[in-house]
């Protein structure tokens, strides 16, 4: 039987690479994003047939409901849910507009909760839930409070799901990337932070990043593929850090 995966945040970066990897391995993919046209472009280029692009702004309960209906109609049941939805904007804790600050939590945390509440009942027993968190789930950078809080909460959500779904042998894990070369690396001023003097000095020249380079989206996708496979059958509630050694240094 051909396995089926839902990939959210699939229009670019890590989510796109995950959709591509699973399609290459023969899975049928429903890929969702708040940017439907971009999502359709990705899906049209995937290996194999029968893949579906869907508009899925996870902060919209109406779109989550439509996603569930589409999954029921297209898949019936499915085997893996991978949530790579992410937004990144520097917002200070105290002086920003609260709604702007809260946006990260509404999208990344509450979106993840709502998606799981809507879709996990359709998942096959023995299925896999894989969230993309970040090394920010335990690290702090100025302006990243809401982002880091959302990522930390996703880690705890994953652990809770691992406990609550163990009776169905559904495994829940999360991947914590470090620097990865994606569109999110490009900041508001248009510069890719991975090309900046700040990155080269801190993480390459002075050895704070042992592998001396950012990761590629496909390297994260490979870990997601492993976690969805038979060799990960005794891993649940875990955080798999994929950061080139960044968090082992000081």
Q: Which residues are catalytic?
A: 147
Encoded tokens for 185 = 């690396």
**CA 76 – CA 160 distance, rounded (Å):** 25
**Which residues on neighbouring strands pair with residue 113, listed in sequence order?**
none
Classify residue 95 by burial, with Cβ atoms within 10 Å: 0-12, 13-18, 19+. Answer: exposed
């Amino acid at each position: 039987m051909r396995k089926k995966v839902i990939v959210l945040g699939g229009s670019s970066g890590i989510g796109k690479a995950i959709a591509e990897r699973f399609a290459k391995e023969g899975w049928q993919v429903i890929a969702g994003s708040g940017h439907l046209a971009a999502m359709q472009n990705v899906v049209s280029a995937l290996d194999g047939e029968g893949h579906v692009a869907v508009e899925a702004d996870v902060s919209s309960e109406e779109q989550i409901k439509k996603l569930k209906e589409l999954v029921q109609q297209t898949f019936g049941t499915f085997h893996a849910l991978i949530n790579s939805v992410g937004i990144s904007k520097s917002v200070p804790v105290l002086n920003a507009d609260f709604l702007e600050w809260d946006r990260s939590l509404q999208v990344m945390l509450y979106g993840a909760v709502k998606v799981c509440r809507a879709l996990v009942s359709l998942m096959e027993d023995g299925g896999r839930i894989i969230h993309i968190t970040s090394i920010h789930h335990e690290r702090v950078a100025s302006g990243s409070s809401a982002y880091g809080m959302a990522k930390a909460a996703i880690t705890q959500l994953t652990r809770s799901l691992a406990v609550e779904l163990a009776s169905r042998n559904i495994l829940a894990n999360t991947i914590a990337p470090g620097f990865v070369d994606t569109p999110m690396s490009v900041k508001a001023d248009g510069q890719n932070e991975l090309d900046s003097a700040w990155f080269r000095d801190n993480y390459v020249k002075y050895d704070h990043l042992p592998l001396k380079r950012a990761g590629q989206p496909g390297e994260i996708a490979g870990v997601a593929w492993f976690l969805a496979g038979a060799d990960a059958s005794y891993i649940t509630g875990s955080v798999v850090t994929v950061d080139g050694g960044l968090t082992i240094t000081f």
